[in-house]
């Protein structure tokens, strides 16, 4: 799209306009969820005799829409506004738009709604000057508007499918786009990672609603080489083709042909169009649309449209499959990075990790616990900046160095952290990190003493059996990687019997633009209320109740329950079973 600079970053509306800009002679603009013009293409500016600066940001109805005499048109009498407010596609030829020179432009128009990936609503408006003289016929306008409707569907397909990285969700969105707009039935067959074919989705529109036909879904026979049947050809990547029940009435050449004949019998489709779903480097499946209630059959123009739609679906599904592969690799990596907790008789110890909502299942948050040569227990909670593979790699480096320093030197946590800080900038790839490193030692009288050093991390929380809470603020120092060789101090505390020590990362308590004290108080109150729950249940409920819904960070929790003689709250049968960090 040859657009004038509008002074803002490309929006979903801008990408839609660029997608359709090849349609010569057609004006286009997009409005946001408040009816304001967000983008306008070059032909639209020419037809309206206005610049982008004049148009962008204006209320489209108030600024442009007029009656045939140039008067302002009430929204209730404007067909374009009614379609916009109803969130439905519509077209017509009885609207006048006011041009920059004050003259009126009589236009034929199409309104197509769209929804962006973040859920916001908008509308896409395509218009052209209503033809005059011999060309001003209903047939010409109908033909032009039909083409615009096709382009609007392609634009909506692109915007809708790119709103998700989950193939399952993308398939359902694709079916909703096609049924009942183009067909009574939509069928999606997918080729799995192992090369098997699965009938993933069968959707039918009847009695004004879409219905999922799960009884027609499931595994399919393998695709035969050289079969001339339409579905088999599509699953091998051949061009789209028309099909009907007659194609499958003769002796079947394969099991998949039998399955396809059963589909036609069960659905009553008299006409179908089948296109391959091609990814960037492979065929991912096939898309079938069919008609059973409406009498008209599909034609060559429908094949062209279906191929365009399936090509867009293939690219988005290919990206989704790549994302899912990367996520699986990342999750495997995270499982190896997060350690198994040591078993200490009489001591309860549980850890939880939850990735950032938009990350690849890994991040820079970590926990660690391991036995030291003198029999004491090392406890660690830390956070390397970021929640991606780079952060996870930096976290692994920091964790391993800390383990080596803690094992090799029997000294207070503050000195171990200082050694780590001195090595941090020169040995690791991490740019910044926070951490609490603690040593838990058994006392001669059977109790447990905790000594810790804090490098810029949120303070640990200690909760007694009777619900009293205390943040361990002592031993606090600057974060790792500050390049300041500062003296670090230790904090010390005696753990009361049956008390719970909670080490956590900031994703549990921090919300952008909110004071951290609010999150800390929220954590303290919920931890006190849950202090007698079994430790695994304590951690699960703490994550569910304390972690802010709008949190964008990953979270790690390491909780320890000190030995004690009293019964520990409700019976275990009333609590949720223990679970892994995943």
**pLDDT at residue number 134:** 35
pLDDT averages per 10-residue partition of the chain, 582 residues:
40 51 68 88 91 92 90 85 79 85 89 66 82 42 56 76 85 92 94 93 92 95 92 94 90 92 95 93 94 92 90 90 76 70 91 72 79 94 75 79 88 92 75 90 90 95 95 92 80 95 92 84 95 94 86 86 61 37 32
pLDDT in tens, 46-90: 999 999 999 999 999 999 999 888 888 888 888 888 888 877 777
**CB-count burial class (<10 Å; 0-12, 13-18, 19+) for 207:** exposed
**pLDDT at residue number 381:** 95
488 to 133, 178, 403, 472, 479: CA distances (angstroms)? 88, 64, 19, 15, 11
**pLDDT at residue number 242:** 94
Whether the domain at 12-150 and the domain at 167-328 fall into the same CATH topology: yes
Tokens of 124: 């896409």
- Bridge-based pairing state of the strands 461-463 and 500-504: antiparallel
Q: For tokens 């094992």, what's the residue? A: 407
Q: Which fold has domain 12-150?
A: Beta-Lactamase (3.30.450)
Output the average pLDDT for the chain: 83
Radius of gyration in angstroms for the set of CA atoms belonging to the chain, rounded to a whole number: 32
376 to 118, 248, 430, 504: CA distances (angstroms)? 50, 74, 28, 21
Kindly give, in sequence order, each residue whose CB lies less than 8 Å from that of residue 580, ignoring residues fewer than 6 positions away.
none
Residue 177 to residue 452: CA distance in whole angstroms? 58
**pLDDT at residue number 430:** 66
Largest CA distance in the chain: 105
Q: Which fold has domain 167-328?
A: Beta-Lactamase (3.30.450)
pLDDT in tens, 393-435: 777 888 888 999 999 878 999 999 998 888 877 776 667 889 9
- Bridge-based pairing state of the strands 90-98 and 65-66: antiparallel
Got the DSSP string for 226-291? T--SHHHHHHTTPPPEEE-GGGGSS--SSHHHHHHHHHHHHH--SEEEEEEEE-SSSEEEEEEEEE
All structural domains of the chain with their residue ranges = 12-150, 167-328, 338-574
**pLDDT at residue number 81:** 87
Helix or strand or coil: residue 571?
coil
pLDDT in tens, 255-271: 999 999 999 999 999 99
Q: Which fold has domain 338-574?
A: Phosphatase 2c; domain 1 (3.60.40)
Residue 167 to residue 195: CA distance in whole angstroms? 16
**pLDDT at residue number 80:** 87
- pTM for the full predicted model: 0.54
């Amino acid at each position: 799209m040859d657009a004038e600079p509008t002074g803002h970053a490309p929006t979903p509306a801008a990408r839609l306009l660029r997608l359709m800009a090849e349609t010569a002679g057609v004006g286009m603009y997009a409005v946001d969820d408040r009816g304001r013009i967000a983008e306008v293409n070059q032909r639209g500016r020419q037809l309206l005799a206005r610049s982008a600066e004049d148009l962008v940001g204006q209320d489209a109805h108030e600024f442009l829409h007029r009656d045939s005499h140039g008067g302002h048109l009430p929204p209730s009498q404007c067909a374009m506004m009614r379609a916009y407010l109803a969130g439905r596609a519509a077209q017509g030829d009885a609207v006048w738009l006011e041009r920059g020179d004050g003259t009126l432009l009589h236009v034929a128009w199409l309104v197509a709604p769209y929804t962006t990936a973040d859920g916001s609503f908008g509308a896409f408006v395509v218009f052209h000057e209503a033809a005059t003289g011999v060309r001003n016929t209903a047939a010409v306008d109908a033909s032009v508007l039909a083409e615009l409707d096709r382009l609007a569907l392609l634009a909506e397909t692109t915007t809708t499918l790119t709103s998700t990285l989950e193939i399952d969700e993308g398939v359902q969105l694709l079916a909703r786009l096609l049924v009942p707009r183009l067909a009574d039935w939509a069928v999606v067959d997918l080729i799995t990672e192992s090369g098997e074919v699965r009938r993933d989705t069968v959707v039918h529109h009847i009695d004004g609603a879409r219905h999922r036909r799960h009884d027609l879904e499931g595994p399919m026979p393998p695709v035969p080489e050289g079969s001339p049947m339409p579905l088999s050809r599509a699953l091998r990547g051949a061009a789209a083709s028309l099909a009907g029940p007659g194609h499958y009435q003769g002796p079947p050449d394969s099991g998949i042909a039998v399955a396809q004949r059963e589909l036609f019998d069960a659905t009553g489709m008299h006409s179908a169009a089948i296109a391959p779903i091609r990814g960037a480097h492979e065929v991912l499946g096939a898309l079938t649309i069919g008609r059973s209630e409406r009498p008209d059959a599909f034609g060559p123009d429908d094949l062209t449209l279906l191929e365009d739609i399936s090509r867009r679906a293939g690219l988005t599904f290919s990206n989704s499959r790549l994302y899912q592969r990367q996520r699986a690799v990342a999750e495997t990596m995270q499982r190896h990075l997060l350690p198994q907790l040591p078993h200490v008789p009489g001591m309860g110890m549980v850890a939880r990790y939850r990735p950032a909502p938009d990350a690849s299942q890994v991040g820079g948050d970590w926990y660690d616990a391991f036995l030291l040569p003198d029999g004491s227990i090392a406890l660690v909670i830390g956070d390397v900046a970021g929640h991606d593979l780079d952060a996870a790699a930096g976290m692994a480096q920091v964790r391993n160095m800390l383990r080596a320093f803690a094992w090799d030197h029997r000294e207070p946590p503050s000195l171990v952290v200082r050694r780590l800080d001195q090595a941090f900038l020169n040995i690791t790839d991490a740019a910044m990190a926070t951490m609490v490193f603690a040593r838990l030692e058994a006392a001669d009288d059977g109790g447990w003493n905790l000594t810790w050093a804090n490098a810029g991390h949120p303070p640990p929380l200690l909760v007694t059996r009777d619900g009293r809470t205390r943040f361990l603020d002592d031993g606090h120092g600057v974060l790792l990687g500050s390049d300041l060789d500062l003296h670090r101090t230790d904090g010390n505390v005696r753990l009361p019997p049956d008390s719970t020590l909670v080490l956590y990362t900031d994703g549990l308590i921090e919300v952008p633009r909110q004071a951290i004290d609010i999150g800390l108080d929220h954590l303290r109150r919920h931890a006190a209320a849950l202090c007698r729950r079994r430790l695994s249940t304590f951690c699960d409920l703490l994550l569910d109740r304390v972690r802010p819904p709008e949190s964008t960070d990953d979270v790690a929790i390491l909780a320890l329950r000190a030995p004690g003689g009293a019964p520990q709250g409700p019976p275990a049968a009333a609590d949720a079973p223990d679970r892994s960090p995943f």
